Amino acid sequence: MSVRPPRARIAAPDDPDALAATWRAIGARWGAGAGIAFGSPDGSDRRTARAAAVSEAADAVGAPPRAPEHEADGRPCWPAGWTGSVSHRAGVTIALLRRAGPGVAVGVDVEETGALSVAEAALVLSPAELEDCRAAADPAAHATVTWSVKEAAFKAWSTVAGGLAGVDPLDIAVDWVGYEVVVAAVGPLARRVATPALVGDVRVGGPLTLAVVGTPASRGASAARGCSGVGDRR
């Protein structure tokens, strides 16, 4: 066993400029457009926040500026040629948008740091992953970021696969190589996804945990199929 806690820290959400700068820098590392929106006293709701975050992400990479429609399972349906991901938590909405291509995937997740206790994580983390959590300086923070990586990976694979129902969280294996996160589809999931090995990029600190999981930025981009969007659900 080796414990390799996430190395970087992010600004707290009460410092939105710093958090936004961090998120945009993460997007640049992925060759992607990053957008972020904050819940505000003026009553920004989920749909408004999603539209703002996606619009900023689209601007950054010259993508069509519209927010995704959704398939019946909640999966976003991006414009042809693009793929991306959205996550909301604690008044923060993040979006990442990158050029699509064969096997190109990306998923994002934001969680409240330490939200998942190790006891709760026992339902969704493998014995090896739990062992890492228990040995970490902050077991709940480690459990939460591991779960967040799984959620981001699920979104990445689900979006590219055209839907992934009934995934066993234990079929998403998270490991740390140095400070890098490696995510593998194992068991039955490995036969359902085109790119069973993904890499992750995480930031933990202050109240928020951010995770991006996908194929590396160098993966080629080319035409991608559109999807049958069934309209915005919210």
Give the footprint of ligand COA on this chain (CB under 6 A). 46, 50, 73-76, 86-88, 109, 150-151, 154-155, 158-159, 167, 169, 172
Antiparallel, parallel or unpaired: β 92-99 and 208-214? unpaired
Min dist. Cβ of residue 129 to ligand COA (A): 11
Is 33 or 169 the residue whose CB approaches ligand COA more closely? 169
Min dist. Cβ of residue 130 to ligand COA (A): 15
Measured at the alpha carbon of residue 21, what is the angle toward residues 133 and 30, in degrees to the nearest 5?
70
Is 50 or 203 the residue whose CB approaches ligand COA more closely? 50
Is 22 or 126 the residue whose CB approaches ligand COA more closely? 126
- First-to-last CA distance in the chain? 44
Min dist. Cβ of residue 11 to ligand COA (A): 20
Contact 99, 81 (CB under 8 A): yes
Measured at the alpha carbon of residue 145, what is the angle toward residues 34 and 33, in degrees to the nearest 5?
10
H helix runs in the chain, sequence order = 16-29, 46-61, 118-121, 127-135, 139-161
Q: 56 vs 22, 61, 126, 196, CA distance in Å?
A: 14, 9, 37, 30
Is 74 or 187 the residue whose CB approaches ligand COA more closely? 74
Is 152 or 178 the residue whose CB approaches ligand COA more closely? 152
Min dist. Cβ of residue 189 to ligand COA (A): 9
Min dist. Cβ of residue 181 to ligand COA (A): 14
Is 137 or 165 the residue whose CB approaches ligand COA more closely? 165
Min dist. Cβ of residue 72 to ligand COA (A): 9
With residue 203 as reference, give the H or E element that holds it. Answer: strand 197-205
Antiparallel, parallel or unpaired: β 197-205 and 208-214? antiparallel
